[in-house]
């Protein structure tokens, strides 16, 4: 399978718990992006990596959110002390180079109760 994969596909958690999502990009892509999408809205940029370096993080992103891409391959997005407002679809995308088309994964749907 050469597409972007994300795990888990669904996550239900209680408010205050920590959650971690994983993204496996297309193997030859060196850029990896995280977005968040709520119902009826377009995806909202969270952060991006070039290889293992995190080069930009949205100013809207709370410090409860952290992302890593330790070996320049897969990436993880962790949310600490989840809040109900964190409920959303978390999308990962990868691309070959800067400005190129991005390939999106199926997303992880987070529900915070």
Minimum CB distance to another protein, residue 101 (Å): 4
Are 15 and 80 in contact by the 8 Å Cβ rule? The answer is no
> Toward another protein, which CB reaches closer, 7 or 80?
7
Element (H, E) at 40: none
∠ CA 48-76-91, rounded to 5°: 60
Minimum CB distance to another protein, residue 37 (Å): 9
Q: Which of 24, 31, 67, 79 binds another protein (CB under 8 A)?
A: 31
Could you give the string, one character per residue 51-90, with x where binding to another protein holds by CB under 8 A and - elsewhere? ----xx----------------------------------
Does 2 sit near another protein (CB under 8 A)?
no
CA dist 36 to 45, 62, 82, Å? 7, 13, 14
Are 93 and 6 in contact by the 8 Å Cβ rule? The answer is no
Output DSSP code: residue 21: E
Binding site for another protein (CB under 8 A): 31, 33, 35, 40-45, 48, 55-56, 91, 93, 95, 97-107
């Amino acid at each position: 399978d050469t597409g972007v994969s994300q795990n888990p596909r669904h996550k239900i958690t209680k408010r205050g718990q920590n959650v971690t999502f994983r993204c496996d990009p297309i193997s030859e892509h060196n850029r990896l992006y995280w977005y968040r999408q709520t119902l009826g809205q377009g995806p909202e940029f969270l952060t991006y990596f070039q290889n293992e370096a995190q080069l930009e993080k949205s100013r809207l992103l709370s410090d409860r959110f952290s992302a890593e891409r330790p070996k320049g391959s897969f990436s993880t997005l962790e949310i600490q002390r989840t809040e109900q407002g964190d409920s959303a679809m978390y999308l990962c995308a990868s691309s070959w180079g800067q400005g190129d088309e991005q390939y999106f994964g199926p997303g992880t749907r987070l529900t915070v109760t």
